[in-house]
Chain A
Amino acid sequence: MDQSHIRNFSIIAHIDHGKSTLADRILQLTGAVSERDMRAQVLDSMDLERERGITIKAQAVRVTYTAEDGEAYQLNLIDTPGHVDFSYEVSRSLAACEGALLVVDASQGIEAQTLANAYLAIEGDLHLVPVLNKIDLPAADPDLHARALADLIGDDPEHVLRISAKTGQGVKDVLEAIITRMPPPDGDRTAPLRALVFDSVYDQYRGVVAFVRVMDGGIRTGDRVRAMATGSGFDAEEVGVMSPAMTPIGHLSAGESGYIVTGLKSLVDLRVGDTLTLAREPAPEPLPGYREAKPMVFCGLFPVESDEYPDLRDALDKLSLNDASLVWEPETSQALGFGFRCGFLGLLHMDIIRERLEREYDLSLIATTPNVEYEVTRTTGEVLAVRSPVDLPEPNHIERIEEPYVRCSMLTPQDSVGAVMGLCQERRGTFVTMTSIENRQQVVYDMPLAEVVLDFYDQLKSRTRGYASLDYEMVGNREGPLVKLDILLAGEPVDALSMIVHRDSAYARGKGLVERLREIIPRQMFDVPVQAAIGGTVIARETVKAKRKDVLAKCYGGDISRKRKLLEKQKEGKKRMKHVGNVEVPQEAFLAVLQLDGQSTR
């Protein structure tokens, strides 16, 4: 189709602000999905996404819309993930578009991620169409939020569309605005192919499927294609569009979006952000902005039952086919046996992977404390990337330790600013700036990522009664006085409970942690000392007192089977414990490190 009749756009919205509902409504209104086939949230295809109400994978759907000017337009809706962990994927999706709908809940207002993604879009020269959704809600305050929205993008409040995706009210105006306010693509169809990979999925029958936006040139089924960053080559086995099911159409030209079946066997061979070009006529330069997906958060994953180790490996293998940002390598823990150290884009990503492993692969897992990657310079000058506290060299061999910092942008109601700033200070944050946005404040801090990956987000939510929202971006590494905090059970260090902490908070962390462990670890046959130590010096100690009584005092003839079954049942309960030396430790203990609130309860 002529480029002037094409629009590529995405929807920027905070979780729950109605992006999926609006997308569904657009599919319906343009006839891409019949009323009868309409499943809520067609675009979110994974169960887990549906349950959590979030979109993990971006996709592109083509619909044809006949506008009020009587012309038929090709609209490519490029879906974006809605969470901070996936901000790179968001940026690639946006790079595939000329415009974006900026959707904000008329009762909630702008959230930090909306803000961050809106800035990303503005930086990328996208034309934004502001949309207030859920205006049918009683709590909606469209005038207030329209002003804020207009302010944010430098537009007139009158231009903010007011809709209800749920009832369908105003959705037609959205489609018209896409045509009239967003520019068409202007690629050079005669130039060599340059197609941006903004997403890719692994299909077990067809291999890697790339979702692309063709910037220049064109691609046909059968073309020999090369990925410019990874260097992978493949034949375009099928070229088509999602409408919303996969529909082969044979070719894609500049300005259009669609999919390419590559036949590649792993997502590692085709990264999001890469540029595809034709082998016979390669483009001289790739598209800008390619970045290796870099894991930010690491944790150990261990099977509760050691014989499930091969199953866990197979499951990780399969999951990484589908998720190039998941990295993992074998790890051995004295406490937990054989497992894997896994790297994730962020905490949500980690939760999702863990949940999928447990749910889809029926594994029972212990996850160790998440940590970040430290850059450690040895006294010899050698520089190490430390992804696990266990790998930290002895203190006298360390010249310096650097840790990753993120710039956290939090949007919060006026009356919670103090609480937010207090939290950031506690977590070693450095104040950057504060700006008011209508009735709210945007508070910006630079924070060690290590402090953010623990329970920062939960704390932020709970201290602002759920009102604050968070976005963050990397700002590089900074040096800090960091030490390794060890936890000893019955005198033995438990490697899986070690963590790297700031020297000044080590005592409070250690004390809080041993107190919590004392509560979590059940009484055993013998006293179990629980100690926190730094480099061999014990800084806090608690004792899990020995069990005094565990007996069923009555047992007569009619009772023997019942008593035996009771012991069998007790045994079942013990199976969920992990033996660390002579101590039985429940799985929760390994997560105790995550809860830092009220670091010491005494």
Chain B
Amino acid sequence: MRSGEPGGVAHLYVHLPFCAARCGYCAFVVEVGRDDARDAYLDAVLAELERERGRLGALETLYLGGGTPTLMGAGRLSALLAAISPLLAPGAEVTIEANPETVDQNLMAALAGAGVNRVSLGVQSTHPHLLGVLDRQAGPDDAARAVRAVRAAGIPRLSVDLLLGVPGQSQADLAADLAWVTEVGPDHVSWYELEFKEGSAIASGPHLPPDEDMSADLYEEAVEGLEAAGYRWYELANFCRPGAECRHSLAYWRARDYVGLGVGAVSTVGGGRWRNAPGLDRYVAALGRGDAPPRTQEPLDADTRRRERWMLGTRVDEPLDMAWAGSPDRPAALDVLEAGGLLERGRGTVRLTRRGRLLQNAVMQEIMDF
């Protein structure tokens, strides 16, 4: 395995898996009803941090994701942040994910004090009937209350997560979500299409995903609405006010190295990727014994890395530098795609057009031999 980037890994993810309930669309590694394990889990994550410290350089970004990270409680989160903060570079982006119903001003104040400067709120929808389809815990007023709490605590940056393609979601529903976002005015919006992932409750339930035309309509409506409100469509599913990109996510899309701590977390360093196995108890037990957590290794050869750089790099609106990414497997396809208005080329660079972005998978299939 090659060593990572010079200066050490600059991006750290910590997975905090506890949840009050599993949402209908969720296929993540989450732990429901294990609040009793939170202290032991914190110790285990701190132990894993110690094991991985040698790979880390000055951290440009830290992302606490889940699960529902806020369910760890202010004390444990502060302890975790206190342990990491010596590693943070000046001006580092420190994000925590939060579900609206778990956010209150005290918690936010504590997190702000511990160095959190960005909150990503999992709003998903402003409609009670759609939140019901998703099995979300939040009520319709929770989102607004959470936004007020974040701001009152003086946390400068706010992102909102929304979903499109929820069964039963109409274009009018989406327009209402847009109106809400415009009114609240977060500096960052992630508007994901609901995925019917294998293993989630919704995939085995009675609901069907909307057809291609319907979901394309919704997608375009979201993009156009947010752009009209002054957001930049800087990544396939992400939008920001000027300068407010999520630096942590950009690191993924730029194929940078990152380390993930916690159960189920993935790390990519140099030529290798590994994933901590799911299973809270095994994770805690291994680190308790002073061992590495159980992991699966995935070696990444040069071709895989090259294809991933294309797959990730064409998600963002910045041109992909082909000298950096490597050559496409089928360069001739670029001409066809350019002529068809799906991508545009600069001097040694490639960027998807607006239409091309909605067809990113198909474009990849044309260019690359996955």
Interfacial chain A residues near B136, Cβ < 8 Å: none
Interfacial chain A residues near B368, Cβ < 8 Å: 567
Within 8 A of A (CB), among B248-273: 249, 252-253, 258, 260, 264-266, 268, 273
Whether B249 and A551, one on each chain, are in contact in the complex, defined by CB atoms closer than 8 angstroms, is no
Given that A525-B342, A557-B252 are contacting pairs, would A552 and B266 also be in contact in the complex, using a CB cutoff of 8 Å?
no
Q: How far is the CA of A185 from the CA of B286 in the complex (A)?
A: 89
Whether B361 and A567, one on each chain, are in contact in the complex, defined by CB atoms closer than 8 angstroms, is yes
Given that A547-B359, A551-B236, A551-B357 are contacting pairs, would A564 and B369 also be in contact in the complex, using a CB cutoff of 8 Å?
no
Q: Interface size class for chain B?
A: 35 or more
Whether A550 and B362, one on each chain, are in contact in the complex, defined by CB atoms closer than 8 angstroms, is yes
User: 1/0 per residue A519-558: CB within 8 Å of B?
Assistant: 0000101100000000000000000000111111111111
Of chain A, the residue at the smallest CB distance from B258 is A557
Given that A550-B359, A551-B358, A557-B13 are contacting pairs, would A567 and B364 also be in contact in the complex, using a CB cutoff of 8 Å?
yes
Whether B195 and A554, one on each chain, are in contact in the complex, defined by CB atoms closer than 8 angstroms, is yes
Within 8 A of B (CB), among A561-602: 561, 563-564, 566-568, 570-571, 574, 582
In the complex, whether A46 has a CB less than 8 A from a CB of chain B is no
Whether B336 and A560, one on each chain, are in contact in the complex, defined by CB atoms closer than 8 angstroms, is no
Choose among B191, B216, B307 the residue that contacts A564 (Cβ–Cβ < 8 A): B307
Whether B365 and A570, one on each chain, are in contact in the complex, defined by CB atoms closer than 8 angstroms, is yes
Interfacial chain B residues near A563, Cβ < 8 Å: 311
Whether B361 and A571, one on each chain, are in contact in the complex, defined by CB atoms closer than 8 angstroms, is no
Whether A548 and B212, one on each chain, are in contact in the complex, defined by CB atoms closer than 8 angstroms, is yes
Of chain A, the residue at the smallest CB distance from B164 is A553
Whether B308 and A564, one on each chain, are in contact in the complex, defined by CB atoms closer than 8 angstroms, is yes
Whether B260 and A552, one on each chain, are in contact in the complex, defined by CB atoms closer than 8 angstroms, is no
Whether A523 and B212, one on each chain, are in contact in the complex, defined by CB atoms closer than 8 angstroms, is yes
Choose among A551, A554, A556, A568 the residue that contacts B359 (Cβ–Cβ < 8 A): A551
In the complex, whether B335 has a CB less than 8 A from a CB of chain A is no
Q: How far is the CA of A31 from the CA of B36 in the complex (A)?
A: 78
Q: How far is the CA of A549 from the CA of B356 in the complex (A)?
A: 9
Interfacial chain B residues near A570, Cβ < 8 Å: 361, 365, 370
Interfacial chain B residues near A553, Cβ < 8 Å: 191-193, 195, 219, 236-237
Whether A547 and B362, one on each chain, are in contact in the complex, defined by CB atoms closer than 8 angstroms, is yes
**Shortest Cβ gap from A520 to chain B (Å):** 16
Given that A564-B370, A582-B336 are contacting pairs, would A550 and B358 also be in contact in the complex, using a CB cutoff of 8 Å?
yes
Q: How far is the CA of A555 from the CA of B215 in the complex (A)?
A: 18
Whether A561 and B370, one on each chain, are in contact in the complex, defined by CB atoms closer than 8 angstroms, is no
Whether A548 and B260, one on each chain, are in contact in the complex, defined by CB atoms closer than 8 angstroms, is no
In the complex, whether B366 has a CB less than 8 A from a CB of chain A is yes
Whether B336 and A558, one on each chain, are in contact in the complex, defined by CB atoms closer than 8 angstroms, is no
Interfacial chain B residues near A574, Cβ < 8 Å: 365
Interfacial chain A residues near B260, Cβ < 8 Å: 557-558
Interfacial chain A residues near B340, Cβ < 8 Å: 525-526
Given that A525-B340, A560-B268 are contacting pairs, would A567 and B252 also be in contact in the complex, using a CB cutoff of 8 Å?
no
Whether A551 and B360, one on each chain, are in contact in the complex, defined by CB atoms closer than 8 angstroms, is yes
Whether B264 and A558, one on each chain, are in contact in the complex, defined by CB atoms closer than 8 angstroms, is yes
**Shortest Cβ gap from A584 to chain B (Å):** 10
Q: How far is the CA of A547 from the CA of B268 in the complex (A)?
A: 33
In the complex, whether B351 has a CB less than 8 A from a CB of chain A is no
Whether A561 and B273, one on each chain, are in contact in the complex, defined by CB atoms closer than 8 angstroms, is yes
**Shortest Cβ gap from A418 to chain B (Å):** 40
Whether A564 and B358, one on each chain, are in contact in the complex, defined by CB atoms closer than 8 angstroms, is no
In the complex, whether B213 has a CB less than 8 A from a CB of chain A is yes
Interfacial chain B residues near A561, Cβ < 8 Å: 266, 273, 275, 298
Interfacial chain A residues near B362, Cβ < 8 Å: 525, 547, 550
In the complex, whether B349 has a CB less than 8 A from a CB of chain A is no
Whether B252 and A560, one on each chain, are in contact in the complex, defined by CB atoms closer than 8 angstroms, is yes
Whether B365 and A558, one on each chain, are in contact in the complex, defined by CB atoms closer than 8 angstroms, is no
Given that A547-B212, A561-B273 are contacting pairs, would A552 and B361 also be in contact in the complex, using a CB cutoff of 8 Å?
yes
Q: How far is the CA of A256 from the CA of B125 in the complex (A)?
A: 87
Q: How far is the CA of A563 from the CA of B364 in the complex (A)?
A: 12
**Shortest Cβ gap from B343 to chain A (Å):** 11
In the complex, whether B304 has a CB less than 8 A from a CB of chain A is yes
Whether A567 and B357, one on each chain, are in contact in the complex, defined by CB atoms closer than 8 angstroms, is no
**Shortest Cβ gap from B298 to chain A (Å):** 6
Interfacial chain A residues near B312, Cβ < 8 Å: 555, 560
Within 8 A of A (CB), among B24-78: none
Whether A554 and B192, one on each chain, are in contact in the complex, defined by CB atoms closer than 8 angstroms, is yes
Of chain B, the residue at the smallest CB distance from A555 is B315
Choose among B190, B266, B366 the residue that contacts A557 (Cβ–Cβ < 8 A): B266
Choose among A554, A560, A567, A568 the residue that contacts B237 (Cβ–Cβ < 8 A): A554
Q: How far is the CA of A564 from the CA of B265 in the complex (A)?
A: 17
**Shortest Cβ gap from B256 to chain A (Å):** 10
**Shortest Cβ gap from B64 to chain A (Å):** 13
Whether B369 and A550, one on each chain, are in contact in the complex, defined by CB atoms closer than 8 angstroms, is no
Most buried by B among A523, A553, A555, A563: A553
Of chain B, the residue at the smallest CB distance from A526 is B340
Interfacial chain A residues near B191, Cβ < 8 Å: 553
Pick 11 A–B contacts, CB within 8 A, sort by A: A550-B359, A551-B361, A552-B360, A553-B237, A557-B268, A558-B264, A560-B252, A566-B361, A567-B311, A568-B370, A571-B370
**Interface residues, chain B, with chain A CB atoms under 8 Å away:** 13, 15, 190-193, 195, 212-213, 215-216, 219, 236-237, 249, 252-253, 258, 260, 264-266, 268, 273, 275, 298, 304, 307-308, 311-312, 315, 336-337, 340, 342, 357-366, 368-370
Q: Which 3 A-B pairs have the closest CB atoms?
A: A548-B216, A553-B193, A549-B216
